[in-house]
Structure 1
Amino acid sequence: MDIRQLRYFIAIAEERQITAAARRLHIAQPPLSQQLRSMERELGVRLVERSGKQLELTRAGTILYKRAISIVKLMEESQIEVKDTGNGLTGQLTIGVNTLSDERLPNLLRVFRERYPRITYKIQQNESAQLCKMVKERAIELALVRFPLELGEFSILHLRTEPFYFVTAGNGEAAHGKVTFEQLAGHPLILPSTAGLGVYQNIVEEFSRRRLQPNVICECSDIAMLLELVSADFAATIVPETTLRVHRGYDVQAYEIEGSTLAASSVLIWLKDHELSKAAQNFIALLQSESDASAAFGPSEGDADDQAAARGDS
């Protein structure tokens, strides 16, 4: 039997007449009678019995009718679910986020959820190198990562390039709100991330280009803990602008670094030559449209005010 025959049998069972069932199904009566006989031959049992002008289900026919209703309903629901998933209306968005995160992500996900309310989410946070590995292993489809990284295996959507700031406890002082690398070399530093990776490497290489040796006393990949330590005047740090925008409420002071070329670039990546889910495709399209609309996600007026407050500008 196939799904078509089950639909025929449901109509026969509910209409209790071949003629009425054929009319309901928009087919001729003889082919429908033939299909009923074919099902009975295949199953080796009688499915209906004639009672006057109407048909009555046998015990076997009653069981088949109940099963047919369930099977047809499941098939129809499956078709809807598959179509909705194919169109990105349902399914799961799996995305990795760099340890330093991105302050725009919550709002982007909110907008995405408003457009696709039946999507579910899996969000993983890790170092950029680990996120690349997870994308390659297909544990996640998308990841927000930071350079420097080898990304030859990935497709890339550039999101932003941002400066770094020198951050101390809130009681710190600095002339005109700026410091030099020469001044930074004299401070005990906590560097984000881990030696040899991403942001950490960017910072160390910037000191090296200036023939300076940073006084790194601590590495910390937990940014909340890092800022707690800075706030307690354990040591100072150097972090990308995003850190100041995402992690607020700490008693810290941020300063521009004079003459610095130090910058962090963040990108969205996904595996090349691999078919993405429609949910992932729709999220990439959202980021692209937001990027076009806001000139690569330039800070809003409110965000600029928050930055000024973090730097101690009046």
Structure 2
Amino acid sequence: MEVRVLRYFIEVVQERNISNAAKRLHISQPTLSRQLMDLEKELGITLFERGHRQIKLTQEGYYLYERAQEITGLVDKTETDLQSQKIISGTLEIGAGESTAIQPVMTVIGTLLKEYPDIKINLVSGDSDLIYQRLNNGTLDFGIIMGPEKLLNYHSISLPQKNIWGILVRKDQPIAEKEKITPQDLIGLPLLTSAQSKQQDVFRSWAGSLIDQFNFIGQYNLIFYARLLVETGACVALTYQNLINITGTDLAFRPLTPTVTDQNNLIWNKNRQLSNVAQVFLNRLTEVQ
């Protein structure tokens, strides 16, 4: 399974058409078709459901597409890192969840981008499972994890700011009249939260046994989509303060009481050597801590 062929495969998936992909790759359509058929034969699977105009991935095709993006991304990053050892260049790969508390990290990155024009930045949004996975496979240099996590396999730095928990709610909802929210206030309300926050001990400690009386109607990954549902009045969302700008909207944020906060930790893999650009970033962040 050659990386070159995986790049061909990715291009075909993104174009959804072999002819268009062949033009973009500057190869003939028969050559591209043959390369894909050889890949299917090598793997012993069918990657596409071929139609007259567009192709559709099989289940195995979807799996390979996801892995092919990781593989080619890692190859590109490795080549860039090896070619840029003598100068401060390359791509800094950082993954994080949603939090305004990571602004100090962005400030350092902004300074580096101005100081070293050859540096590029790739910001990946995701939950802790995604961040751990990509740190382990080498496609991320750093991750920013929110809340209490077991970090034995990672180096870590605690960032200064913390996240404040509360609810996002429509202003015309009765609970919005309260300045702060107690566990009792949430009993019976339709709640939207992230899978991580529901499982975290810090949140369960706040709610105590009352958490068993909470009506969790669903989960979200990004607060943007949760916000749209909250705006309908169908639920309230447990979230961090200041993740979205609600000025001039029908929404309000109400903090939990007693106050519930989450620590932010910058982490990186103990078993992987940092690229020069990643090391420069880490040194600069440590200086301003």
Superposition TM-score tier, normalisation by shorter sequence: 0.5 to 0.7
For residue 179 of structure 1, give the secondary structure of its aligned residue in structure 2.
Answer: coil
Contact 1:154 1:269 survives alignment (8 Å):
yes
Contact 2:101 2:162 survives alignment (8 Å):
no
Please give the residue correspondences for 1:187-266 in structure 2 after superposition, counting only pairs within 5 Å: 187-191=189-193, 193-194=194-195, 197=196, 199-202=197-200, 205-206=204-205, 209-212=208-211, 213-241=213-241, 244-248=242-246, 251-260=250-259, 262-266=260-264
Change (3 A) 1:208 1:164: closer
Identity %: 18
Rounded to whole Å, the distance in 2 between the matches of 1:102 and 1:165 is 15
Instruction: Structure 2: give runs of 5+ residues left out of the alignment.
Output: 1-79
Rounded to whole Å, the distance in 2 between the matches of 1:277 and 1:252 is 43
Rounded to whole Å, the distance in 1 between the matches of 2:82 and 2:192 is 51
- 1:228 Cα deviation after fit: 1.2
- 1:216 Cα deviation after fit: 0.6
- Which residue type is aligned with residue 268 of structure 2? W
- Which residue type is aligned with residue 281 of structure 1? Q
Counterpart of 2:169? 168
| Higher gyration radius (CA) | 1
Q: When the two structures are superposed, what TM-score results if normalisation uses the length of structure 1? A: 0.57
- 1:122 Cα deviation after fit: 2.3
Change (3 A) 1:281 1:247: farther
- 1:101 Cα deviation after fit: 6.8
Contact 1:99 1:221 survives alignment (8 Å):
no
Counterpart of 1:77? none
Which whole-Å deviations, capped at 9, do the CAs of 1:118-157 have from their partners, x for residues lacking one? 1122222221122011101111111112233221110001
Contact 2:184 2:210 survives alignment (8 Å):
no
- 1:247 Cα deviation after fit: 4.8
- 1:263 Cα deviation after fit: 1.8
Rounded to whole Å, the distance in 2 between the matches of 1:94 and 1:208 is 36
Which whole-Å deviations, capped at 9, do the CAs of 1:238-282 have from their partners, x for residues lacking one? 1122xx24455553101122224x221111110114321111112
- Which residue type is aligned with residue 255 of structure 1? R
Instruction: Structure 1: give runs of 5+ residues left out of the alignment.
Output: 1-80, 292-314
Contact 1:157 1:268 survives alignment (8 Å):
yes
Please give the residue correspondences for 1:1-314 in structure 2 after superposition, counting only pairs within 5 Å: 85-86=84-85, 89-99=88-98, 104=103, 105-159=105-159, 160-173=161-174, 174-175=176-177, 177-191=179-193, 193-194=194-195, 197=196, 199-202=197-200, 205-206=204-205, 209-212=208-211, 213-241=213-241, 244-248=242-246, 251-260=250-259, 262-291=260-289
RMSD between aligned residues:
2.8
Change (3 A) 1:157 1:223: same
Change (3 A) 1:248 1:165: same
Change (3 A) 1:155 1:82: closer
Count of residues in correspondence between the two structures: 204
